[in-house]
C-alpha cells in the first residue's frame, strides 16, 4: 500500500524515533508499504518518520544509481535500529534531496566511510562497512530517526537562499508528484 509522505514542517519529522523490539505482522506489512511508497515516489531511501511513524526503520534501494556509484548496486535493504560508527572523519560534499523536501537540492558534507550495525526484518544482527554514496544515503536516512533533515547540515546563507521554497512546503503551496501529507495548519 502506498502511503503519503510527510513533508517538511510536520512535527513527526522532528521527533526521535523508538527502537523496534519485536517482529510481528504489523512490522512486515509496514516494511512492504515503505518499499512500495519509496519506489512509487522514485526515492532511494525512506525512513519511517517520513510516513508518520516514529520507529527506527529505514528502507534503502540505491540500485538506480549504480552506473554513477557502483557501491549502490544491489543495495535493497531494510535497516532496523541502525548504529553508525564513523571510520574516517574526512567529509565530502555532494548534492542531496529528500522526499520530505520536494524541489530542494543542496550540497551536504558527510563522511564517506562508516561501519553500520543494524537488525534486519527478522531482528537478526548485521555489521558491515559502507562507503561512497551508500554511506551518504545511510547517514541521510539515519538522521531522520533522530529528528534531523538534510538541510540541518547546510550553511545559514544557503538556508536563507531556500527560505521561500521551505515556507512554500510548510504552507502547503508546493506541488508534490506523490501522495503527501503537509504540516498541520498553525
Catalytic residues: 141
Stretch that binds Ni ion, among 2-10, 56-64, 94-102, 158-166 (CB under 5 A): 94-102
- Minimum distance, C-beta of residue 101 to Ni ion, in the bound complex (Å): 7
Nearer to Ni ion, 72 or 98 (CB): 98
Q: Which is nearer to Ni ion, 30 or 59 (CB)?
A: 59
Could you tell me the three cell numbers for 141?
Answer: 536516512
- Closest to Ni ion by CB, 4 vs 23, is 4
Q: How many residues bind Ni ion (CB under 5 A)?
A: 1
If one asks whether residue 98 binds Ni ion (CB under 5 A), the answer comes out as yes
Please report how close the Cβ of residue 149 comes to Ni ion at its closest, in angstroms: 6
Q: How far is the CB of 49 from Ni ion (least distance, A)?
A: 9
The reply to whether 104 sits near Ni ion by the rule CB under 5 A is no
Q: How far is the CB of 47 from Ni ion (least distance, A)?
A: 7
Between 121 and 141, CB nearer to Ni ion: 141
DSSP the chain: ---PEEPTT-GGGGSPPBPP----HHHHHHHHHHHHHHHHTT-SEEEGGGGT--BSEEEE--GGGTTT-GGGTT--EEEEEEEEEEEEEEEEEEEE--TTSTT--EEEEEEEEEEEEEE-TT--EEEEEEEHHHHHHHHHHHHHHTT--GGGGS-HHHHHHTHHHHHHHHTT-S--SS-EEPPPP-
Binding site for Ni ion (CB under 5 A): 98
Amino acid at each position: 500500500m502506498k502511503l503519503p509522505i510527510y513533508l517538511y514542517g510536520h512535527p513527526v519529522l522532528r521527533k526521535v524515533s523508538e527502537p523496534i523490539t519485536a517482529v510481528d505482522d504489523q512490522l512486515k506489512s509496514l516494511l512492504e508499504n515503505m518499499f512500495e511508497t519509496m519506489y512509487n515516489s522514485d526515492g532511494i531511501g525512506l525512513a519511517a518518520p517520513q510516513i508518520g511513524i516514529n520507529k527506527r526503520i529505514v528502507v534503502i534501494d540505491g540500485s538506480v544509481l549504480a552506473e554513477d556509484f557502483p557501491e549502490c548496486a544491489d543495495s535493497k535493504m531494510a535497516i532496523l535500529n541502525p548504529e553508525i560508527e564513523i571510520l574516517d572523519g574526512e567529509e565530502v560534499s555532494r548534492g542531496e534531496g529528500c522526499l520530505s523536501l520536494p524541489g530542494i537540492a543542496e550540497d551536504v558534507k558527510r563522511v564517506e566511510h562508516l561501519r553500520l550495525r543494524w537488525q534486519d526484518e527478522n531482528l537478526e544482527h548485521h555489521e558491515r562497512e559502507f562507503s561512497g554514496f551508500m554511506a551518504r544515503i545511510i547517514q541521510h536516512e539515519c538522521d531522520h530517526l533522530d529528528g534531523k533533515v538534510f538541510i540541518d547540515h547546510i550553511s545559514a546563507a544557503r538556508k536563507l537562499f531556500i527560505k521561500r521554497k521551505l515556507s512554500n512546503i510548510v504552507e502547503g503551496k508546493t506541488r508534490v508528484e506523490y501522495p503527501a501529507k503537509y504540516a498541520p495548519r498553525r
